[in-house]
Amino acid sequence: VTLTRREDYVAPSHWIRSVDLTFELEPAKTLVISRMQVEPNADRPGEPLRLDGEDITLTRVLVNGNSVSFHFDAGQLVLEKLPAEPFALEIRNTCAPGKNTQLSGLYTSGGGFFTQCEAQGFRRITYFADRPDVMAVFKVTLRADAKLYPMLLSNGNLVESGELPKGRHYAVWSDPHPKPSYLFALVAADLVCREQKIRTRSGQDHTLQVYVRAGDLDKTEHAMNSLIASIAWDEARFGLKLDLERFMIVAVSDFNMGAMENKGLNIFNTKFVLASPATATDIDFGNVESVVGHEYFHNWTGNRITCRDWFQLSLKEGLTVYRDQEFSQDMAGVASARAVKRIEDVRQLRQSQYPEDAGPMAHPVRPDQYQAIDNFYTATVYDKGAEVVRMMATLVGRAGFRKGMDLYFARHDGQAVTCDDFAQAIADANHGSALAERLDTFKHWYAQAGTPRLKAEGSFDADTGRYTLTLSQHTPATPGQPLKQPFVIPVAMGLLDAAGQPITGTDRVLVLDTASQSWTFDGLTAAPVPSLLRGFSAPVILEWDASEAELFTLLGHDTDAFNRWEAGQRLAVQRLLAAVRQGGDLVLDEAFVSALRSVLNDPALDAAFKELVLTLPSEGYLAERMAEAGEPIDPQKIHAARESMRAQLARSLHADWVTAWEQNSQTGGYRPDPVSCGRRALANLALNMLVLDGVAHGEPLWQGKALQRFKDAGNMTDRLGALAALVHGRSSLAGAALERFHAMFSGEALVIDKWFALQATAPEQDGQVFAQIKVLARHPDYSLRNPNRARSLLLTMTQLNPGAFHRADGAGYAFWADKVQEVDGFNPQLASRMARALDRWRALAEPFRSHARTAIERIAAKTDLSGDTREIVTRALA
Ligand code: DPP
Ligand code: ZN
């Protein structure tokens, strides 16, 4: 196993300025001819040229047309005694796309050819300097059977195409923009396309295309609309224009990632392209919009300016996630809908990134080392990276951030750069700003892992009318980083009076950049209620000993929607953890119930916001709160406490749930706008609670209504919501409904994924859900080979269903270990994702902890384990 270190970076010995690739495409053996123009790097004269290659067969190497000697070293092809002047290098090799089960490089899926090159897939196609700082102009010739592969696509513009003997045909593509190899793509398949021509604000004409399999054309309208909206948004918000005549999106059903931003030829997991009201939920529609936006935005933040090395991954990913989050908020429109999106993003961050930052895989946003770079496409690099960009935007202001982005492009367009370059540009465009004044300290966000604890203490002096707020920070040790320097933490805040009214003149952004600091507020007549970290202005854990009264005030009145929601979550967490500590019994108090009732019945609040407030913190989130408090996690006690609270809320708010259902269950013709989505979400939550309560009390009314809704639903959100109510409520009507759903959608792979996932998320009771998951793993429709299908059952269980996964007998872990081993045999990237499920095993209570260790050790004992999975289990056991 070799470790790659950030500090070992050296510039390449040679630049590859252009590549002319020819592919004779055949599943069993594809011939690749690569003709490169190579230029020695003047800073490193006389060095050998080392080219990466993996699982490919070399047949010929020519330098300026002559054979040369070469050897292999550590998997690389090494060429020595090369000309000191620019030279032509030709390489011929073969690869076997039909046998490429890793889905990295060139592979087949559904009878077509597709590629995935980020991060290091190009070396599985041909020998190359497969590193992002080597940027070349690509010309690509594809030759293939004309009947089987009527569409031949690659990056850039189509310059030539035609027939060949023996039923074959060809196409030549030319991409004028120099790019690193990870942005190369080709597709050869039987696809159809939705096409639209657009003229942008600046008067440029473009052709937009979405390619899918023949039966899926009716599911492409939303992706096309999202692409058009993305193009308009980037031009309006950041002045960034589409630089290509043609922009293509291709959907493929076997894909390890969500999507890939290859220059001009984005390749997408079908899950993030295909959406029709009948087959996709509101959440799917939102995901399509955000992923289409994300990949499109990469065209500037990622492709035009790329990463110098893979340690800088967050340069493009953190920034592009920030951009896609802003895009989705702008698309949502009004402030209340923006706040809903923000709450969802924060919930996601805390659900996935916080545990990562507290476990064995904790790493900085800009990591210092890796064994397998594929393991660092993480919530930290993406989602925490986005928060780091957002904090910069907060510190320089919206206009200042735009100026910073302008400077970043002016300086670095066409280059491969670092996170430092980005931060420097934002700061340099904003002299005298809160960022520029403390840039070095701010950059600790790139260098240090771990989630900072932000402690807040307020004191009020009645004699002077002065309120003093003291903020202090502390970040726990993470692997390899025992001691931490202070971070720059922007804390958006304001004060409320006891009645919950905002106190004029107290809204501000405090910037904590030392271990501890105090701020004072004068002229107050009574102790205020502080509203801290509004909008979640920094990715920290706020340790604030709020009284119940303060939290009720915030929940009922704060002007900041995020903190209203957060206060409700805190009230729920306190009750749930108290119950866990006391052995499970939970009796809900009227104060809490009536506060939730007020939210549910408040005509001034959006349904979407109500649904978020009324949704209890997840079991995973509760587990992390316990771990933060230094208490061993008992997933079963957490599950029991949360189920008990859900049952009580179902009962005590029964009449309110009925009202919520009646007011929100009819949304008319399907439109995925925020208001309709919010109403459907609240109606589904209400139905879920009503069925839960009905089953608990032997009342059939709402079970019958849910079944009727399931049958009559006019869209997938309503249909799946009703089905979930029956399945998750354990209604006796669930089994038949599940069968019917499966029969209705047997030809729709993405819907069958939902069918598996729904059953894998059912609240566990007496081991029945886990037993059912094991049965489903043997279902004829189940397969580990297709990543979406594999994830639908396994990752869904390990990530979203702790009650089923964490069993006192360890059977959940043993089942998981078997599957990780099996998947590792053919798809290491997918296996190493699955292997992360027990990252937090050391924080578990017994007997879970010992069983978990045994299961991880069992995976580690597999001698031929892939490097990807090996890195995960080694770190877990370290
Ligand atoms: N395709 C992945 C993404 O867009 C990796 N770049 O984030
Ligand atoms: Zn990305």
For the stretch 321-331, pLDDT in tens is 999 999 999 99
> What pLDDT was estimated at residue 830?
98
Which backbone phi and psi does 164 adopt, to 5 degrees? -130, 165
- Mean pLDDT taken over the chain: 98
The reply to whether 842 falls in a domain is: no
* Beta-carbon count within 10 A of 778 CB: 7
The predicted model gives 2-6 an average pLDDT of: 96
Q: Given a cut of 90, is residue 385 above it in pLDDT?
A: yes
User: Is residue 845 in some structural domain?
Assistant: no
Rounded to an integer, what is the distance from CA 438 to the centroid of its chain? 30
User: Which of 296, 305, 343 minimizes the C-alpha distance to 323?
Assistant: 296
Distance CA 241, CA 200 (A): 8
* Residue 498 and residue 413 in one domain: no
Instruction: Please name the amino acid found at residue 635.
Output: P
Distance (angstroms) between ligand 2 centre and the Cα of 316 equals 7
User: Cβ contacts of residue 249 below 8 Å, gap of 6+?
Assistant: 209, 210, 211, 223, 227, 266, 267, 268, 273, 292, 295
Ligand 1 centroid to residue 118 C-alpha, Å: 8
- Ligand 1 atom at shortest distance from the alpha carbon of 260: 1
Residue 835 lies in a domain: no
Q: How far is 711 from 709, CA to CA, in rounded Å?
A: 5
Give the strand order in the sheet containing 70-73.
49-52, 76-79, 70-73
Q: Are residues 423 and 458 located together in one domain of the fold? A: no
Give the Å distance between the CA of 243 and the centre of ligand 2: 19
**Number of domains into which the chain is organized:** 3
Q: Are residues 108 and 134 in the same domain?
A: yes
289 located within any domain: no
Q: Is residue 10 part of a domain?
A: yes
607 pLDDT tier (thresholds 50, 70, 90): very high
Q: Which ligand neighbours the alpha carbon of 117 most closely?
A: 1
User: Do 128 and 168 fall into the same domain?
Assistant: yes
619-673 pLDDT tens trace: 999 999 999 999 999 999 999 999 999 999 999 999 999 999 999 999 899 999 9
Which atom of ligand 1 is closest in space to residue 317's alpha carbon?
Answer: 7
At residue 672, the pLDDT reads 97
Helix (H, G, I), strand (E, B) or coil at 518: strand
Question: Is the C-beta atom of 295 inside 6 A of ligand 1?
Answer: yes
Question: Does the residue 24 lie in any domain?
Answer: yes
User: Per-residue pLDDT for 201 more than 90?
Assistant: no
Is the beta carbon of 373 within 6 A of some atom in ligand 1?
no
pLDDT at 583: 80
Q: In this structure, what token pair is assigned to residue 675?
A: 């208001």
Task: Give the integer Cα–Cα distance in Å for 528 and 542.
Answer: 18
Q: Residue 321 CA: which ligand 1 atom is closest?
A: 7
- Return the structure tokens found at 446: 């790139």
Q: Answer yes or no: 295 catalytic.
A: yes
Nearest CA to ligand 1 atom 2: 260
**Whole-angstrom distance, CA of residue 727 vs CA of residue 720:** 10
Nearest C-alpha to atom 3 of ligand 1 is from which residue? 260
Domain match, 38 and 102 both:
yes
pLDDT in tens, 49-62: 999 999 999 999 99
Q: Are strands 246-252 and 186-189 parallel, antiparallel or unpaired?
A: unpaired
Burial of 250-261, coded b for 16+ CB within 10 Å and e otherwise, reads: bbbbbbbbebbb
**Which of 54, 118, 289, 295 is flagged as catalytic?**
295
Please report which ligand is nearest the Cα atom of 319.
2
Same domain assignment for residues 171 and 54:
yes
Mean per-residue pLDDT for 146-168?
98
Residue of 377, 383, 829 with the most ligand 1 atoms within 8 Å of its CB, for mutation: 377
**CA 480 – ligand 2 centroid, Å:** 27
118 lines ligand 1 (CB under 6 A): yes
pLDDT at 756: 99
Cβ contacts of residue 788 below 8 Å, gap of 6+? Answer: 253, 255, 269, 270, 271, 749, 750, 753
CATH assignment at residue 159: 2.60.40.1730
Q: Which residues contact 797 (CB under 8 A, 6 or more apart)?
A: 760, 761, 770, 773, 804, 805, 812
H/E element, 284: helix 282-297
CA gap 143, 598 in Å, rounded: 66
Ligand 2 midpoint to CA 259 (Å): 8
What's the CA-to-centroid distance between 260 and ligand 1, angstroms? 5
The per-residue pLDDT for 78 is 98
**Residue where one domain finishes, among candidates 384, 412, 447:** 447
Task: Give percent above pLDDT 90 in the chain.
Answer: 99
Q: What is the ipTM of this complex?
A: 0.98
Kindly tell me if the per-residue pLDDT of 138 is higher than 80. Answer: yes
Residue 202 — very low, low, confident or very high, per pLDDT cuts 50/70/90?
confident
At residue 585, does pLDDT exceed 90? Answer: no
Mean pLDDT across the stretch 553-578?
Answer: 98
Domain boundary among 131, 158, 190: 190
Can you name the residues that pair with 250 across neighbouring β-strands?
211, 267
Whether 136 and 30 share a structural domain:
yes
Say if ligand 1 is within 6 A of residue 216 CB: no
Distances (CA, A) of 178 to 12, 134, 159, 184, 299: 16, 9, 17, 11, 12
Q: How much is the pLDDT for 477?
A: 98
Structure tokens at 382: 């993406």
pLDDT of 1 > 80? The answer is no
pLDDT digits (tens, 9 = 90+) for 748-777: 999 999 999 999 999 999 999 999 999 999
Residues 6+ apart with CB under 8 A from 637: 580, 583, 584
**Burial class (CB within 10 angstroms; exposed 0-12, middle 13-18, buried 19+) of 248:** buried
Helix H or strand E segment including 553: helix 548-557
User: Mean of the pLDDT values across residues 451-478?
Assistant: 98
Q: Could you give the count of Cα atoms lying within 13 Å of 854 in the half-sphere of its Cβ?
A: 13
Atom of ligand 1 nearest to the CA of 298: 4
| Nearest CA, atom 4, ligand 1 | 260
Last residue of a domain, one of 420, 447, 474: 447
Per residue in 224-247, is it b (16+ CB within 10 Å) or e — as a string?
A: bebbbbbbebbbeebebbbbbebb
The range of the structural domain enclosing residue 67 comes to 4-190
pLDDT at 474 over 80: yes
CA–CA distances in Å: residue 459 to residues 241, 526, 541: 52, 11, 21
Q: Report the candidate in 627, 503, 513, 588 with the shortest Cα–Cα distance to residue 553.
A: 503
CATH number at residue 353: 1.10.390.10
- For the Cβ of 345 lying below 6 angstroms from any atom of ligand 1, the answer is no
Can you tell me the mean pLDDT for 344-371?
Answer: 98
The answer to whether 421 and 409 have CB atoms below 8 angstroms apart is: no
Mean pLDDT of 15-36: 99
Residue 735 lies in a domain: no
Nearest residue to 579 (alpha-carbon basis) of 546, 626, 539: 626
For the CA of 302, the nearest atom of ligand 1: 6
Classify residue 565: in a domain, yes or no: no
Q: Which of 138, 158, 103, 161 is nearest to 32 (CA)?
A: 138
Pick the closest to residue 72 from 58, 92, 87, 93 (CA basis).
58
**Is pLDDT above 80 for 584?**
no
Please give the pLDDT value at position 288: 99
Residues 441 and 486 in one domain: no
Please indicate whether residue 261, judged by its CB atom, sits closer than 6 Å to ligand 1: yes
The total number of residues shown for the chain amounts to: 878
User: Is residue 463 classed exposed, middle or buried when 0-12, 13-18 and 19+ CB atoms within 10 A define those classes?
Assistant: exposed
Q: Are residues 340 and 384 in the same domain?
A: yes
383 and 333 within one domain: yes
Q: Tell the residue nearest (CA) to atom 7 of ligand 1.
A: 317
Same domain flag for 96 and 12 = yes
Residues 26 and 162 in one domain: yes
Tens digits of per-residue pLDDT, 669-728? Answer: 999 999 999 999 999 999 999 999 999 999 999 999 999 999 999 999 999 999 999 999
Burial string for 422-434 (b: 16+ CB within 10 Å, else e) reads: bbbbbbebbeebb
